[in-house]
Amino acid sequence: MWHEERLLIDGELGPAEAGRAYETVNPATGEVLGTAADATVGDVERAIAVARRTFDTTSWATDRDFRTRCLRQLHDALVARADDLRTLLIADNGLPHMLTQGPGLDTPTGMINYYADLLEKFEWTDDLGTAETMGRVSTRWVEKEPVGVVAAIVPYNYPVQISLAKLVPALAAGCTVVLKAPPQCPWITAALGRIIAEDTDIPAGVINILTSSEVAVGVAMVRSPLVDMVSFTGSTVAGRQIMADASATVKKVFLELGGKSACIVLDDAPLDLAAMMAAFTITSHAGQGCAITSRLLVPASVHDEIVELTASMMAGVAVGDPSDPANMMGPLISEAQRQKVDAYVTGAVAEGGTVVTGGKVPEGLPDGYFYEPTLVTGLGPDATLAQEEVFGPVLVVLPYSDDDEAVAIANNSSFGLSGTVFGTDEERATGVGRRIRAGTVSVNGGMWYGADAPFGGYKQSGIGREMGVPGLVEYLEIKTLALPAE
C-alpha cells in the first residue's frame, strides 16, 4: 500500500530524531500496518524554527499570486493521488469508503480551489477615508496580513478534512505552518506531507508535518514563543488546556471542540424521515464526529413509535469492513475508544436507561474495534449520556412536551456545535432551529457543510470559525494605517 511514514521538515522527508518510530494499527482488523516516525520535542523545535525563519525572511507572506498557484498545484496533486489516498485513509483510519467520497477526502480536496479563488478576489485593503483629529486631517486605511507561524493540531476522526481546513486557509493567508498529525492514524497525514514535498512548488519550510505518539510534542507547539497562533480541533478538555498553555505568550487561538448536538423532531414531522436521518447520522463513521446529533428529542406522545422506527433503522445499518462500499459503518479508532463507548452505555443502564438495540460488539466481527449502533431510552436530559460527548454510535432519546421544552433541552448543554430540526411546517421548524444555541443547524435534512460554510461552535464547543471567508480571516491580523491628507 502506498503510504508515507517520514516527517516533513524544511522541505525534506526524513526520520524522527534518533530514528524513533511507533506502530500504527488498522482499526478494522487490529493488525499492525507498519510504523511511523515518532517526532520528539527536538523535532518540533526544529520545525518551528524553520517555519519562523521562512515566514520572516521569504516572500511567501507577500506573494499572493505565487500562493494561489501553489494552492492549485496542491489541489491537482491530491486529485491525482485520490485512489492511493482513499485506500490509505480506509486502512489507517477505518473511514468507510462511502465517506471518503464526501467529507473524508473528495469534498475537502475541492475546498482548496475555493480558497485559491477567494485569494484572488479577497479585499486585502479597506479604505476608511479621511478624518480630522486634533486639527490634523489624515487618510486612513486597513490592511490584512498573515498572523505568522501557525501550530495546527489535528484529531483522528476526519484527518484529511481537518488538516486541509487548517492548512489551506493558513496558506492562503500567507502563514507558515507546523502541523501535528493524529497519533492514531499518522500515515494519511504524513502522505499529505509527501505530496506537498514532491508534487508542489510550496517552498521548503512553509509546511512542516509531524507524526508523534507524544503529548509533549503538541504541548511544545502550543507553548513556543515562536508560534503566533494555535489551531486545534479535539476535545473540550484538551482545548481548555491549550488555552491555558497559550496564554503565557498571549497567542491567538482557534478551537473547534466537542459537541452533544440535538436532533429535534417536531410533532408535525414525518417520523420515517426523522428516524432514518437520526440513525444515519449517529452511525456515520461510527459516531466519531463532533457535529453528530447524539441526542434525539421527540414529542412524548409519539415517543414509542419513533423509538421503534429508529431502533429498526439502526439495527439495519450494515457494519463491517470499511473498504467494502456496501458497509455504511466501520470501526471505532481503537480498543481504548471502544471500551470508553461501552463504559458510557454501561453507565447509562446503571442510571436507569434501557438499551433498545446495540450495546455490544457485533456478532461475526471479533477482530478490529467495532461496536453496534446503540439506542438508549429512559434517561433524563441531565443524565451523563445526555450531557457528555461519547464519540461513538450511541443515540439517547429524550421526550419533551412542547416546542419551548424541546429548545430548552437542546440548549441544556455545555456544548453548542450543531443541531437538527424536523417538521412539516418549514417556517416553524426554521424558527425552532434559530433558537438552538449552536454554530450550525440543519432543517429537514438541509446540508450546511461546504467549503464556503463557516463551521464552529458556541459555548464550550470552541472559539472561531473554520472554512468560508471567516476561515481565512482567522489566520489574518488587522493593521490600521494613516498618512497626513494632502
Q: Give the type of residue at 354.
A: T
Active-site entry in 290, 372, 389, 474 = 290
Active-site entry in 4, 214, 256, 389 = 256
Q: Is 175 a catalytic residue?
A: no
Contact 351, 379 (CB under 8 A): yes
Distance CA 5, CA 14 (A): 9
Other beta carbons within 10 angstroms of residue 445's beta carbon come to: 12
Q: What is the DSSP string of 104-145?
A: TTHHHHHHHHHHHHHHHH---EEEEEEEEETTEEEEEEEEEE
Cell numbers found for residue 227 = 508560534
Other beta carbons within 10 angstroms of residue 478's beta carbon come to: 10
- φ, ψ of residue 373 to 5 degrees: the values are -55, 130
Cell numbers found for residue 2 = 502506498
Distance CA 83, CA 336 (A): 30
Burial 189-226 (b: 16+ CB within 10 A, else e): bbbbbbbbbeebebbebbbbbbbbbbeebbebbbbbeb
Distance CA 179, CA 177 (A): 6
* Measured CA distances, 221 to 72, 217, 231 (Å): 28, 6, 11
Distance CA 406, CA 399 (A): 8
Cell numbers found for residue 319 = 457494519
Q: Is 290 a catalytic residue?
A: yes
Distance CA 9, CA 376 (A): 47
Report residue 96 CA to chain centroid gap.
Answer: 17
Cell numbers found for residue 317 = 445499518
Residues marked as catalytic:
256, 290
